[in-house]
Chains A and B, each alone.
Chain A
Amino acid sequence: MAKLVFTNAYITVNGVDFSDHIASVEISQSADEIETTAFGTSGWRSRVAGLKDGSVKLDWHQDFVSSVDATLSSAWGAVGTVVVIPNGTAASATNPRWTCPVVLSSYNPVAGSTGDLLTFSTTWAAAGAFTRGTV
């Protein structure tokens, strides 16, 4: 796999496959920048990485018949796990799996305008280390 047109990602929340009800996904990871500038840094600021953080943003297609609403209604307000594999269900060295423990802190079950497809977005902050696996 080289460059990738992103259509075939596999995404689960608490083990339930929601791939066909999700239109976009964004895993964000960052680390605090701790300044360590002192005399003798040759006129440049110096920094080291501090605490790491992350979040997972998902854009959903709501579905009250399948398990979207049922799962999220019972799961939100607790820690859950989002798993993302970019291309299909099999993780490998060239198709890594991200496992993201997150706080399912928000869920907006109904957010739409007349005539539009009923969608909603969630952004969940990290509840622990995001891990990258290859098997």
Chain B
Amino acid sequence: MSIAAIRQGLGANLGTIRGLRVAETIPDQVNPPQAVVALQSVAYDGALRGGLTTYSFMITVIVGRMSERTAQRVLDGYISPGDGAIKNAIESDKTLGGSAYDVRVEAMSNVGSLTIGEVNYLAADFTVIVYGN
């Protein structure tokens, strides 16, 4: 189970959301609506003999701020559990294509403005825990 394969699996699951672009690594430029996959931390030795490694990813979802209301509505759609939600998409294949034991979207936080290259966006962070080895 490699980090590259886990990223790929997360990307594939996120790609099931129609219209959402996915960057499996941190991109130079954003192209909203876009989900950016970033590895935050790795906890080793959760079981003996390398039996469990826990990966924490931050997935930042960025939407264009064409109008505040529209941007918020689009982001709400990604946040609310159900069809088209980040949580549902990521957990749609819990093995991430065979690269993990399990995956869980643990929390959403930090809804707010994001400025990149003098352009304002609306963004939200999703904490994703991946169990692998």
Question: CB within 8 Å of B: which residues of A?
Answer: 7-11, 19-23, 25, 61, 115, 117
The chain A residue with its CB closest to the CB of B133 is: A20
For chain B, residues 32 to 46, give those with C-beta under 8 angstroms from any C-beta of chain A: 45-46
Shortest CB-to-CB span from B43 to chain A, Å, is 11
Indicate if the CB atoms of B106 and A115 lie closer than 8 Å.
Answer: yes
Given contacts A115-B106, A117-B131, contact A7 B49 (CB under 8 A): yes
The chain B residue with its CB closest to the CB of A7 is: B45
Given contacts A115-B104, A115-B106, contact A8 B49 (CB under 8 A): yes
Q: SS class of chain B's interface: helix, strand, loop or mixed?
A: strand
Q: A61 vs B131: C-alpha distance in the bound complex, in angstroms?
A: 12
Indicate if the CB atoms of B104 and A20 lie closer than 8 Å.
Answer: no
Given contacts A115-B104, A115-B106, contact A9 B48 (CB under 8 A): yes
B interface residues, tally (CB under 8 Å): 12
Cβ–Cβ < 8 Å partners of B49 in chain A? 7-10, 19-20
Q: A16 vs B46: C-alpha distance in the bound complex, in angstroms?
A: 20
Q: A47 vs B9: C-alpha distance in the bound complex, in angstroms?
A: 64
Does B51 lie at the interface of the complex (its beta carbon under 8 Å from any beta carbon of A)?
yes
Indicate if the CB atoms of B104 and A21 lie closer than 8 Å.
Answer: no
Does B47 lie at the interface of the complex (its beta carbon under 8 Å from any beta carbon of A)?
yes
Does B71 lie at the interface of the complex (its beta carbon under 8 Å from any beta carbon of A)?
no
Most chain A Cβ neighbours within 10 Å, of B47, B51, B52, B106 = B47
Shortest CB-to-CB span from B24 to chain A, Å, is 25
Q: SS class of chain A's interface: helix, strand, loop or mixed?
A: mixed
Given contacts A61-B52, A117-B131, contact A20 B47 (CB under 8 A): yes
Q: A23 vs B45: C-alpha distance in the bound complex, in angstroms?
A: 8
Cβ–Cβ < 8 Å partners of B51 in chain A? 19-22, 61
Given contacts A7-B45, A61-B47, contact A20 B106 (CB under 8 A): no
Does B50 lie at the interface of the complex (its beta carbon under 8 Å from any beta carbon of A)?
yes
Cβ–Cβ < 8 Å partners of B46 in chain A? 23, 61, 117
Given contacts A7-B45, A115-B104, contact A20 B131 (CB under 8 A): no
Indicate if the CB atoms of A23 and B48 lie closer than 8 Å.
Answer: yes
Indicate if the CB atoms of B104 and A7 lie closer than 8 Å.
Answer: no
Cβ–Cβ < 8 Å partners of A61 in chain B? 46-47, 51-52
The chain A residue with its CB closest to the CB of B50 is: A20
Q: A8 vs B49: C-alpha distance in the bound complex, in angstroms?
A: 4
A–B pairs, 28, beta carbons within 8 Å: A7-B45, A7-B48, A7-B49, A8-B48, A10-B48, A10-B49, A19-B47, A19-B48, A19-B49, A19-B51, A20-B48, A20-B49, A20-B51, A20-B133, A21-B47, A21-B51, A22-B47, A22-B48, A22-B51, A23-B47, A23-B48, A25-B48, A61-B47, A61-B51, A61-B52, A115-B106, A117-B46, A117-B131
